[in-house]
Every structure is written in structure tokens, then in C-alpha cells.
């Protein structure tokens, strides 16, 4: 009951602060973020002649795979360290 009152008080304060702010109309570039992204991808489409995106993708995929395997092995080792019948202390 007291917590509910405190939440109502905090919500009222935030509403009061928001009421002091003027109305905000977002700019066109913020309301439609896909426009600039499509433009950037259009510019990058011709980079395939100079940049081997397949190799970059393979390198990134390999790096992510190594991190996932390392995290997985550490997670399994930590999990097994808690089981008494495999050498853990419980």
C-alpha cells in the first residue's frame, strides 16, 4: 500500500515534468530511419568489386563461433564444478 503510493507519487512527478516540456515533432529522417540505411546500402553495393564481403563474413562468423565455443566450454565447466559426483564440491 505504501509502495503503491510511492509509485503513484513518482508517476505523477514524471507526468508533471513531461507536461512542462513542449510538444515534440520528430524530424523526417528520424521518423523514417530506413531511408538513410537504404541510401548507405546503395552506396555500398558497388564496393563488392574491391572488398571481399564473403571473406569478411567468414572471418566474423569464425570469430563469433570461437567465442561461443569458449563461452560454452567455460559454462559447462562451471556447471560441472557444482556437481559432487564429477569432482565438484556442491
Instruction: Show the cell assigned to 69.
Output: 565455443
pTM, two decimal places: 0.46
C-alpha neighbours within 13 Å on the C-beta side of residue 46: 3
Tell me the average pLDDT across 13-38: 82
- Cα–Cα distance measured from residue 42 to residue 47, given in angstroms and rounded to the nearest whole number: 10
pLDDT of 72: 97
Domain extent listing, the chain: 2-86
What pLDDT band is residue 69 in, cutting at 50, 70 and 90?
Answer: very high
DSSP state, residue 45: G
- Cα–Cα distance measured from residue 76 to residue 2, given in angstroms and rounded to the nearest whole number: 44
Amino acid at each position: 500500500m505504501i509502495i503503491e503510493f510511492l509509485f503513484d507519487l513518482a508517476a505523477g512527478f514524471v507526468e508533471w515534468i513531461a507536461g512542462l516540456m513542449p510538444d515534440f515533432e520528430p524530424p523526417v529522417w528520424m521518423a523514417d530511419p530506413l531511408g538513410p540505411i537504404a541510401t548507405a546500402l546503395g552506396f555500398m553495393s558497388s564496393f563488392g568489386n574491391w572488398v571481399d564481403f564473403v571473406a569478411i563474413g567468414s572471418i566474423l562468423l569464425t570469430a563469433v563461433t570461437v567465442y561461443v565455443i569458449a563461452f560454452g566450454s567455460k559454462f559447462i565447466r562451471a556447471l560441472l564444478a557444482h556437481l559432487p559426483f564429477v569432482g565438484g564440491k556442491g
